[in-house]
């Protein structure tokens, strides 16, 4: 790989992007055009470049361009080939055989084999991935009868493994570079070698992450662009300006202030869409540390649920991009969401519950104070925290806001458990078991692992229901398990699912090939091309 001087590299690509923005408007193409540099933006900056040990959404946006999964998924979320050309499920459902694609190589030229699959399943996904610890928990062994065959042996049938094998969820990493290391600190986490459509070039912290086209990619002819740059632009107004000038042409996950969405949507050079996120089923939640004295009282948790004006929150902080949640399973999965106990906005009910819990207003009108932690990476997150503070103040709760950068926030919540309440986003996923387990299962209390059961909530009854949802192959029994899951979760209320997010992708109209598949926002950009070329 040819080294590239950092400043000249970024200057060259930015200049080419701005110049081509004008040229592209005058040109139309009948089909994909090869060449050019696709400049995207990601915020916040990802901490590492593999989701195996950190599945923050920023990691999941960037890393599928480097790594592949065994499978991908079509518009109906049916599995389709990726690194595995096909698979077979045994009649007893206790083994899954994957037949791997021939001729695939890692970016360093080493052949991809079943050894990589076995290592990734047993040593990475089962041990380190926040969701994979559960998803692959029943895998007892991975047999490798030859270099292109991997057989997963299961202790019992699994209802979710085949829904969790994309690059956005379960990335296959190179065994020859990870074996006999600590995967959490392996230097390849920030200098990655994958099998994906783009090869890593460099990462200049706080500025950009650069990739180049993988000329030996197994999906012949792709990617279409020669270079892919993810710009790091922390300031929201600057990101919006970069789209308007053409310096940036693609950005997922609300790359601009939602307050600017209507104005930028009206720009004839730009397009805004909310498609491509359904696989994630993104939620915004208010979580409690149930080990804290005050928030350990379920009456307090229920009171806070009644004190929050969800519709008002969506309008004030998210500019209408959301739908009030009735539970942790998204509304469009209607078969799973009946008989859920709701908590309508009712400050009077909140006041009664707080009185019953013994927390009456003092002379200053305050019942008690709680710390509230959140990551301050977007304006909407900050506005949400302030809105929540005002809602709770109205019922006598002093919510003390404590914003932090992502590493500090993760350490405080998931390592030290030094918080009372927190707010943030999580994904319920296309199969609820994938996303919800980590918030509710006792076994998902995993100190030091982000995006797990930070509430430290434990209920043996719900644990048993979760096991049924994870393992049961009978659709009717599995549906009833999800009904029970929601009833218990919304009764005990370790967290309040506030609303389902509508995430925003903004892009230049020069960018072609965008898909509306349910997992498009977490897919590689190998199908994108630039009208007018470079």
Give the pLDDT confidence of 397-433 residue by residue, as tens digits: 999 999 998 889 999 999 999 999 999 988 888 788 8
Predicted confidence (pLDDT) at residue 27 exceeds the cutoff of 70: no
Region of poorest pLDDT, from 123-127, 133-137, 340-344, 417-421: 340-344
pLDDT, mean of residues 440-458: 92
pLDDT of residue 151: 98
Contact partners, residue 216, CB within 8 Å, separation at least 6 = 105
More confident residue, 20 or 142: 142
DSSP reduced 3-state for 81: strand
Q: What does the alpha-carbon distance between residue 470 and residue 477 come to, in Å, rounded to a whole number?
A: 11
**What's the sign of the alpha-carbon dihedral 164, 169, 175, 180?**
negative
Region of poorest pLDDT, from 251-265, 382-396, 467-481: 467-481
Contact partners, residue 223, CB within 8 Å, separation at least 6 = 197, 198, 213, 214, 217, 524, 525, 526, 527, 528
Every domain of the chain with CATH number 3.40.190.10 lies at 6-61+196-276+503-530
CB 527 within 8 A of CB 309: no
Q: What does the alpha-carbon distance between residue 199 and residue 68 come to, in Å, rounded to a whole number?
A: 12
pTM of the full predicted structure?
0.81
pLDDT of residue 94: 96
Task: Establish whether the linkage from the previous residue to 413 is cis, with ω within 30° of 0.
Answer: no
pLDDT of residue 22: 41
Every domain of the chain with CATH number 3.90.76.10 lies at 71-178
CB 84 within 8 A of CB 99: yes
pLDDT of residue 379: 83
Predicted confidence (pLDDT) at residue 23 exceeds the cutoff of 60: no
Q: What does the alpha-carbon distance between residue 484 and residue 462 come to, in Å, rounded to a whole number?
A: 8
pLDDT, mean of residues 300-319: 97
Residue in 455, 446, 437 with CA at minimum distance from that of residue 492: 455
More confident residue, 534 or 515: 515
CB 136 within 8 A of CB 153: no
Predicted confidence (pLDDT) at residue 28 exceeds the cutoff of 50: no
DSSP reduced 3-state for 262: helix
Taking each helix axis as running N to C, give the angle between helix 432-440 and helix 460-471, from 0 to 180 degrees, rounded to the nearest 10: 160
Q: State percent of the chain over pLDDT 90.
A: 74
pLDDT of residue 30: 67
Residue in this structure with the two tokens 């040109």, named with its chain if needed: 27
φ, ψ (nearest 5 deg) of residue 263: -65, -45
CATH 3.90.1750.10 is held by the domain 282-501? no
Assigned CATH topology for domain 6-61+196-276+503-530: D-Maltodextrin-Binding Protein; domain 2 (3.40.190)
DSSP reduced 3-state for 521: helix
Every domain of the chain with CATH number 3.10.105.10 lies at 282-501
Q: How does the average pLDDT of the chain come out, rounded?
A: 91
pLDDT of residue 427: 83
pLDDT, mean of residues 2-31: 45
Among 33-42, 127-136, 273-282, 477-486, the range of highest mean pLDDT? 33-42
pLDDT of residue 10: 55
CATH 3.90.76.10 is held by the domain 71-178? yes
Longest dimension (CA), the chain: 75
More confident residue, 506 or 1: 506
Band (8; pLDDT cuts 50, 70, 90)? very low
Q: What is the pLDDT of residues 79-122, one digit of tens each?
A: 999 999 999 999 999 999 999 999 999 999 999 999 999 999 99
pLDDT of residue 337: 78
């Amino acid at each position: 790989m040819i080294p590239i001087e950092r400043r000249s590299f970024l200057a060259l690509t930015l200049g080419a992007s701005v110049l081509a923005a004008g040229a592209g408007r005058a040109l139309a193409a009948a089909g994909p055009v090869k060449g050019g540099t696709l400049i995207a933006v990601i915020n916040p900056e990802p901490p590492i470049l593999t989701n195996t040990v950190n599945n923050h959404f920023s990691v999941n946006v960037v890393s599928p361009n480097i790594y592949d999964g065994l499978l991908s998924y079509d518009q109906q979320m049916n599995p389709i080939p990726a690194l595995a050309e096909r698979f077979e499920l045994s009649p007893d459902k206790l083994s899954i055989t994957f037949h791997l694609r021939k001729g695939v190589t890692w970016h360093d030229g080493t052949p991809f084999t079943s050894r990589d699959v076995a290592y990734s399943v047993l040593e990475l996904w089962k041990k380190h991935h926040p969701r994979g610890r559960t998803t692959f928990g029943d895998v007892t062994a991975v047999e490798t009868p030859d270099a292109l065959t991997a057989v997963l042996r299961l202790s019992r049938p699994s209802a979710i493994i085949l829904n969790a094998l994309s690059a956005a969820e379960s990335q296959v990493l190179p065994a020859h570079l990870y074996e006999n290391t600590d995967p959490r600190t392996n230097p390849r986490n920030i200098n990655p070698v994958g099998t994906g459509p783009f090869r890593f070039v460099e990462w200049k912290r706080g500025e950009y992450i650069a990739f180049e086209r993988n000329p030996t990619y197994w999906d012949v002819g792709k990617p279409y662009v020669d270079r892919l740059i993810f710009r790091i632009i922390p300031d929201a107004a600057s990101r919006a300006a970069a789209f308007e000038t053409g310096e940036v042409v693609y950005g997922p996950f609300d790359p601009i202030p939602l307050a600017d969405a209507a104005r930028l949507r009206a720009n004839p050079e730009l397009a805004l869409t909310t498609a491509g996120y359904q696989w994630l089923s993104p939620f915004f939640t208010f979580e409690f540390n149930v080990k804290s004295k005050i928030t350990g009282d379920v009456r307090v948790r229920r009171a806070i649920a009644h004190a929050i004006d969800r519709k008002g929150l969506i309008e004030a902080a998210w500019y209408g991009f959301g739908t009030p949640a009735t539970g942790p399973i998204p509304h469009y999965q209607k078969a799973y969401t009946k008989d859920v106990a709701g908590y309508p906005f009712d400050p009077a009910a909140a006041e009664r519950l707080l009185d019953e819990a013994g927390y009456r207003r003092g002379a200053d009108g305050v019942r008690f104070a709680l710390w509230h932690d959140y990551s301050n990476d977007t304006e909407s997150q900050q506005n949400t925290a302030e809105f929540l503070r005002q809602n709770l103040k109205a019922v006598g709760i002093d919510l003390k806001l404590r914003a932090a950068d992502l590493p500090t926030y993760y350490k405080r919540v998931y390592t030290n458990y030094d918080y009372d309440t927190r707010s943030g986003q999580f994904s319920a996923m296309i199969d609820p078991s994938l996303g919800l387990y980590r918030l509710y299962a006792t076994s998902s209390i995993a100190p030091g692992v982000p995006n797990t059961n930070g509430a430290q909530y434990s209920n043996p009854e719900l644990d048993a229901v979760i096991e049924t949802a994870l393992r049961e192959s009978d659709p009717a029994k599995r549906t009833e398990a999800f009904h029970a899951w929601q009833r218990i979760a919304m009764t005990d209320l370790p967290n309040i699912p506030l609303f389902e997010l509508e995430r925003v992708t903004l892009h230049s109209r020069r960018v072609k090939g965008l898909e509306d598949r349910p997992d498009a926002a977490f897919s590689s950009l190998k199908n994108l091309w630039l009208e007018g070329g470079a």
